[in-house]
């Protein structure tokens, strides 16, 4: 399957640029996953992932925060089921797409960016959790895949 394409205004008419909206995150689960029913009857799981920023971007110009907190949501039953086993502090790896959601609040129109999660798994359990957990294993089957730590 090929990615959708389109012309970009600044490009010559014969040059085509592919669209792409892919997000891969590895971070700590901020709080328990919340699953709620929607008026349509569908279920939605939501959570926040805390992702460390690379040290080079921790400047006054970029903000001195060492982390970003990112809202995530999952519609698929598989990801929702998996997410119910996660505990705050677990390291989660996920793949999805960035979405902007609009709604009307008491103060007027509002919007928020979220990651619409397609696949996710527990990369590593929080060492403070007594329940244990899993670590991702490389395709070779031996050692765990490396977790790149910026902190």
Query: Is 132 inside a domain boundary?
Result: no
pLDDT band at 143 (very low <50, low <70, confident <90, very high): very low
Cα Rg of the chain, angstroms = 18
pLDDT the model gives residue 98: 97
Query: Is 11 inside a domain boundary?
Result: no
pLDDT the model gives residue 9: 60
pLDDT digits over 36-82, tens only?
A: 999 999 999 999 999 998 877 776 666 667 889 999 999 999 999 99
pLDDT digits over 89-133, tens only?
A: 999 999 999 999 998 999 999 999 999 999 999 987 666 654 444
Query: Is 135 inside a domain boundary?
Result: no
Query: Is 7 inside a domain boundary?
Result: no
Query: Is 5 inside a domain boundary?
Result: no
Query: Is 133 inside a domain boundary?
Result: no
Query: Is 3 inside a domain boundary?
Result: no
pLDDT the model gives residue 60: 64
pLDDT at residue 139 tops 60: no
- Indicate the number of domains in the chain: 1
For the stretch 81-96, what's the b/e string if a residue is b when 16 or more beta carbons lie within 10 angstroms of its beta carbon?
A: ebbeebbbbbbbbbeb
Residue 48: domain span: 20-124
- Supply the CATH number for residue 30's domain: 2.40.50.140
End-to-end CA distance of the chain: 38
Q: Count of alpha carbons within 13 Å of 33, Cβ hemisphere only?
A: 24
Query: Is 143 inside a domain boundary?
Result: no
């Amino acid at each position: 399957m090929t990615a959708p394409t389109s012309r970009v205004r600044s490009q010559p008419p014969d040059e085509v640029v592919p669209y792409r909206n892919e997000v891969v995150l590895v971070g700590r689960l901020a709080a328990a996953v919340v699953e709620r029913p929607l008026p349509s009857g569908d279920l939605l799981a939501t959570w926040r992932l805390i992702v460390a920023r690379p040290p080079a971007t921790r400047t006054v110009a970029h903000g001195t925060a060492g982390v970003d907190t990112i809202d995530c949501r999952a519609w698929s039953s598989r990801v929702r089921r998996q997410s119910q086993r996660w505990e705050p502090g677990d390291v989660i790896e996920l793949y999805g797409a960035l979405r902007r959601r609009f709604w009307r609040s008491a103060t007027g129109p509002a919007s928020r960016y979220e990651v619409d999660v397609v696949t996710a798994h527990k990369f590593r359990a929080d060492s403070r959790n007594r329940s244990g957990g899993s670590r991702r294993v490389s395709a070779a089957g031996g050692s765990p895949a490396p977790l790149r730590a910026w902190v």
